[in-house]
Amino acid sequence: MTREVSDPCGDVPGRLFDVLLALTVPVVDLLPTTLFESETAHRVTAAATLVVLFLGVGMLASSAIAGCVGTWLEDRYLKRFPPYALICTLSNRLAGRDTPTELQPALLTVADDMQMLVAIVEALSDGRLTVFVPLAPTPGVGHLQIVSPERIERLDTSMASALGWVLDWGMGTESVLGGEGAPARGRG
């Protein structure tokens, strides 16, 4: 007895295309019926309608009016949602834009023989530093610590390079630390 195994994905691209074609039916119905003497002609017209629709949406999305509306929606609603605001702030800081100061990568001395990569977030009025300690391999997750500046060694590298080190589970440590394994140091 032979048993057939069905593919759970089946013809997903074909089904997806059929769904997209079904979405174009109201527009295609407005066109003269003489254009659709075959199923192939109907599919080609529907696909062309989709292409024109996507091009139009793309052009509209890149317009100044859409930019203003998008900014308004983001400021009015999305930035009130704490996870969205956090992700925006972190991504802008990591990219070095739209922030007063870029995060500064540094090494935090935890013990005499142990250091960890951190990002200096800000200097407090009493001289201590707020640092973000990223977790490998997801540097967007971590914890904050307030430390004395004597425990910090600033790295002469970009935050993007330092995060690449974290994303690669520590591979490339020597290049981030300045070649010979010694960081370009600047206390506090």
Can you tell me the mean pLDDT for 150-175?
Answer: 76
Q: What is the pTM of this model?
A: 0.45
Non-local CB neighbours of 131 within 8 Å, separated by 6+ positions: 106, 108, 118, 119, 120, 121, 144, 145, 146, 147, 152
Contact 122, 130 (CB under 8 A): yes
Q: How far apart are CA 106 and CA 184, in angstroms?
A: 10
Q: What is the mean pLDDT of the chain?
A: 75
Contact 21, 47 (CB under 8 A): yes
Contact 158, 164 (CB under 8 A): no
Residue for token digits 């890149």?
Answer: 62
pLDDT at 2: 55
pLDDT at 128: 94
Q: Which fold has domain 101-176?
A: SH3 type barrels. (2.30.30)
pLDDT at 138: 72
Q: How far apart are CA 71 and CA 84, in angstroms?
A: 14
Contact 140, 89 (CB under 8 A): no
pLDDT at 3: 53
Which residue would you say has higher pLDDT here, 100 or 32?
Answer: 32
Q: How far apart are CA 35 and CA 28, in angstroms?
A: 10
Can you tell me the mean pLDDT for 49-60?
Answer: 84
Of 187, 176, 52, the residue nearest 117 (C-alpha): 176
Q: How far apart are CA 182 and CA 140, in angstroms?
A: 26
Of 174, 175, 122, 128, the residue nearest 151 (C-alpha): 128
- Residue extent(s) of CATH 2.30.30 domains in the chain: 101-176
pLDDT in tens, 20-45: 777 777 777 777 766 666 777 777 77
